[in-house]
């Protein structure tokens, strides 16, 4: 059984031989210098990162959008993916897509194309039957074909609850206002002096509201931050230099338990409850 047959021995050697060869070539591949060359040395990149947000809009805003290279701007707000809510005026089924004319009362109708194979097995879910003269929500990407604005939709769904229309009107106003104001603010929001007029009612009041000096300073700095996600502990520490890290944490705990501030994206970001 242990007699060394030529075939068995040969098989073993063959196996190791190939394995060794493989490892060798693998090692060669890892050692090759070309694969990990620095990407910044390759062609100068002109592709700008497109806005990743889904912007609620009126159709008129989309029609007014200006194009700078491959970026659309609605007023001062960058727009790429948008969502609209409107009435379907017409539905035209074509081979590769369905074309809708949507009217949201803000002006002319807008063409919306929804690409999809109507013969595919999940066509019922992916491309629901949309009745004419019904309200729908469209989510898609703005397109400009020789001056004609349109949307290439990735989702079109019927509106079941008309309160969604109310919601959309408010979201349009809010998102455009928020992005316009945010773009106008200087980059260094950490500047303690940049307090928004509305948010800093307590800046002057010293110890009249039952807060210690340290708590007051921390609270003022939190109030002054206009960002939606609030101010982070690190920025807070930079702004309120006179307060020690430990005292800062204590102040934040106290303010939070009293209901003056609340945590937002994580335990290190806070906003004032006084809007």
Partner 1 sequence: MAANPIVGPKPRVNASMLPRFQGKIVCLLGIVQTCDENGMSFKMKTTDGQDVLVIVSEMLSEYVEGLVEVIGRVNHQNNIDYISSSTFPQQTPSDFDMAHYNQAIQLAQDFSDFYVVA
- Write down the residue that tokens 């307060």 correspond to: 243
d(CA 170, CA 138): 16
**Cα(181)–Cα(226) distance, rounded to whole angstroms?**
10
The CB-of-159 to partner 1 minimum distance in angstroms stands at 9
- Contact with partner 1 (CB under 8 A): which of 18, 66, 67, 90? 90
Min CB(128)–partner 1 separation in Å: 14
**Does position 184 bind partner 1 by CB under 8 A?**
no
Residue 166 binds partner 1 (CB under 8 A): yes
How many residues sit close enough to partner 1 to count as binding (CB under 8 A)? 32
φ and ψ at 122, to 5 degrees?
A: -100, 30
CB 196 to partner 1: min, Å = 18
- The binding track of 126-165 with respect to partner 1, each residue x by CB under 8 A or -, is ------xxxx------------------------xxxx-x
Distance CA 232, CA 264 (A): 10
Nearer to partner 1, 80 or 154 (CB): 80
Among the listed residues 66, 67, 144, 180, the single contact to partner 1 using CB under 8 A: 180
d(C-alpha 152, C-alpha 141), whole Å: 5
| CB 34 to partner 1: min, Å | 52
Q: Minimum Å distance from CB 105 to partner 1?
A: 4
Q: Please report, for residues 105, 203, 237, 245, the alpha-carbon distance to residue 217 in angstroms, rounded to integers and kept in the order given.
A: 49, 8, 11, 13
User: What gap in Å lies between CA 82 and CA 138, rounded to an integer?
Assistant: 8
Residue 177 CB, nearest distance to partner 1 (Å)?
5
Does 101 participate in binding partner 1 (rule CB under 8 A)?
Answer: yes
Closest CA to 145 of 34, 80, 67: 67
Is residue 237 involved in binding partner 1 (CB under 8 A)? no
Distance (Å, whole) CA 51 – CA 71: 9
| Residues in region 44-83 near partner 1 by CB under 8 A | 58, 60-61, 64, 75
- For the stretch 156-161, contacts whose Cβ atoms lie closer than 8 Å and that sit 24 or more positions apart, written own/partner, are 156/100, 156/112, 156/114, 156/127, 156/128, 156/130, 157/128, 158/128, 158/130, 158/131, 158/134, 159/85, 159/134, 159/135
Q: Which is nearer to partner 1, 23 or 177 (CB)?
A: 177
The smaller minimum CB distance to partner 1, of residues 53 and 60, is found at 60
Binding site for partner 1 (CB under 8 A): 58, 60-61, 64, 75, 87, 89-90, 101, 103, 105-109, 132-135, 160-163, 165-166, 169-170, 172-173, 176-177, 180
């Amino acid at each position: 059984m242990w007699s060394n047959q030529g075939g068995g021995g040969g098989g073993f050697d063959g196996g190791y031989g190939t394995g060794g060869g493989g490892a060798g070539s693998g090692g060669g591949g890892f050692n090759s210098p070309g694969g990990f060359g620095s990407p910044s040395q390759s062609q100068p990149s002109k592709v700008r990162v497109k806005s990743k947000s889904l912007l609620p809009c009126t159709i008129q805003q989309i029609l007014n959008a200006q194009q700078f290279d491959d970026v659309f701007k609605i007023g001062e707000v960058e727009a790429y993916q948008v969502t609209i809510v409107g009435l379907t005026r017409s539905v035209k089924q074509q081979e590769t897509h369905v074309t809708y004319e949507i009217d949201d009362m803000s002006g002319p109708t807008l063409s919306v194309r929804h690409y999809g194979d109507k013969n595919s097995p999940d066509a019922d879910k992916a491309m629901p039957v949309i009745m004419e003269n019904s309200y729908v929500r469209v989510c898609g990407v703005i397109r400009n074909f020789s001056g004609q604005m349109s949307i290439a939709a990735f989702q079109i769904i019927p509106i079941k609850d008309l309160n969604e229309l109310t919601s959309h009107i408010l979201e349009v106003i809010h998102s455009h206002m928020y992005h316009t104001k945010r773009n106008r603010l200087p980059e260094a929001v950490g500047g303690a002096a940049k307090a928004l007029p509305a948010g800093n009612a307590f800046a002057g009041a010293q110890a009249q509201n039952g807060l210690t000096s340290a708590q007051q300073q921390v609270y003022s700095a939190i109030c002054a931050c206009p960002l939606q996600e609030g101010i982070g502990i690190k920025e807070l520490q930079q702004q309120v230099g006179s307060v020690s890290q430990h005292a800062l944490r204590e102040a934040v705990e106290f303010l939070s338990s009293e209901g003056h501030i609340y945590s937002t994206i994580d335990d290190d970001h806070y906003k004032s409850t006084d809007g």
